[in-house]
């Protein structure tokens, strides 16, 4: 009898411990939402333009374009350089997820993985009268995909300027300790101490106007225009105004983080004609961001807006409760290349 009661007690204890261990997994029942990108209907193909040869725009677009190398001819290779034509265009090459839910992948159809450990949760925190907190804040996770769409679709065969690689989930922030802690993030952005002051913050208003009207100011690399500050290079947004503003800011920080960690390189300007080059301080004019989730923006000048452009009017109604809280972006990258015969 004693043995039976001991066995029952041990069994109950084991079941209780199992219940406690499993409780977080059961409590985390928030679903992930998203969709796969349809390359025909979900991509703003007008974002490919303008197309230029040297400093001459041969196919104009409705969106501003950074300065291209002025001379139409170029030469690359050694020991005997090969003559080519200097071309400039915009290429869809990356995808970025931004979500409050750990292991949620909106651009992969809204799947949510269960890695077996409970880390990487995000949140949106409101104002508080305790401690003088006067604005909303949020914490996000992000995923970075290699997505060479033009190469896959074989729009131009044997065009050496396209990025010729395969799809890959290149970076997930849930397992990155630098992404979770702003103090640790200072390891890769130690210069943050120079810009943590009201003067540097106020100066970002000029970048906001420039990015919305035309192109962001590359010299103001600590600013993300109307969306906030680039630092710290993680998912903590101290000034959360709207979900779209905060998610775009995190996507822009993710791009900068990839440059700082040498996972993204420079592809614009005369220096990039023959090969990509290291760009630890990201040039914001190199990128445009197009929303793909929850709603694809495919029309209008701000369908693929520059880094730091306003989200007040162009993105109104694009985020909504429940199914519209997980965001995805298609990254368009400026490419200057010396087009030669293969």
Radius of gyration, CA atoms only, the chain: 23
- What letter does residue 320 receive in the DSSP assignment? B
CA distance 93 to 91: 6
Closest CA to 142 of 204, 183, 177, 99: 99
- Residues composing the chain: 342
Tokens of 278: 């290291």
Largest CA distance in the chain: 95
Peptide bond just before 252 cis, omega within 30 deg: no
Q: pLDDT (tens digit, 0 to 9) for every residue of the chain, 342 residues total?
A: 444 444 434 333 433 333 333 334 434 567 899 999 999 999 999 999 999 999 999 998 889 999 999 999 999 988 888 899 999 999 999 999 999 999 999 999 999 998 888 788 888 887 765 555 667 899 999 999 999 998 888 776 567 788 888 899 999 999 999 999 999 999 999 999 999 888 999 999 999 999 999 999 999 999 999 999 999 999 999 989 999 999 999 999 999 999 999 999 999 999 999 999 999 999 999 999 999 999 999 998 899 999 999 998 777 778 888 888 999 999 999 999 999 866
Tell me the whole-structure pTM to 2 decimals.
Answer: 0.88
Tokens of 41: 């209907």
Tokens 């290291």 belong to 278
Answer whether 242's CB lies under 8 Å from 319's CB.
yes
Answer whether 273's CB lies under 8 Å from 69's CB.
yes
* Strand, helix or coil for residue 84: strand
């Amino acid at each position: 009898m004693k043995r039976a009661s001991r066995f029952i007690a041990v069994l109950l204890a084991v079941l209780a411990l199992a219940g406690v261990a499993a409780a977080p997994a059961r409590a985390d029942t928030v679903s992930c939402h998203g969709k796969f990108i349809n390359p025909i209907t979900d991509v703003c193909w007008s974002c490919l333009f303008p197309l230029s040869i040297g400093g001459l725009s041969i196919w104009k677009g409705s969106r501003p374009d950074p300065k291209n190398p002025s001379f139409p001819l170029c030469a690359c290779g050694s020991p005997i350089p090969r003559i080519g034509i200097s071309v400039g265009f915009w290429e869809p090459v990356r995808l970025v997820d931004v979500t409050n839910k750990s292991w949620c992948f909106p651009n992969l159809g809204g799947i949510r993985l269960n890695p077996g450990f409970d880390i990487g949760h995000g949140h949106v925190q409101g104002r508080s009268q305790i401690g003088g907190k006067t604005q909303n804040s949020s914490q996000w996770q992000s995923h970075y995909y290699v997505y060479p769409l033009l190469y896959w679709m074989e729009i131009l065969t044997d065009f050496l300027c396209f990025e010729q690689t395969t799809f890959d989930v290149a970076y997930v922030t849930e397992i990155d300790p630098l992404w979770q802690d702003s103090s640790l993030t200072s390891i890769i952005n130690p210069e943050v101490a120079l810009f943590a002051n009201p003067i540097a913050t106020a100066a970002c208003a000029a970048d906001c106007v420039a990015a919305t009207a035309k192109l962001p100011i590359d010299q103001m690399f600590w600013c993300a225009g109307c969306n906030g500050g680039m630092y710290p290079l993680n998912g903590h947004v101290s000034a959360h105004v709207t979900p779209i503003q905060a998610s775009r800011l995190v996507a822009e920080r993710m791009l900068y983080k990839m440059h700082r960690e040498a996972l993204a390189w420079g592809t614009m300007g005369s220096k990039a004609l023959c090969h990509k080059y290291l760009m630890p301080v990201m040039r914001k004019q190199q990128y445009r961001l197009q929303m793909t989730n929850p709603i694809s923006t495919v029309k209008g000048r701000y369908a693929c807006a520059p880094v730091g452009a306003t989200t007040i009017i162009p993105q109104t109604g694009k985020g909504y409760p429940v199914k519209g809280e997980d965001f995805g972006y298609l990254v368009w990258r400026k490419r200057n290349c010396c087009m030669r015969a293969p």
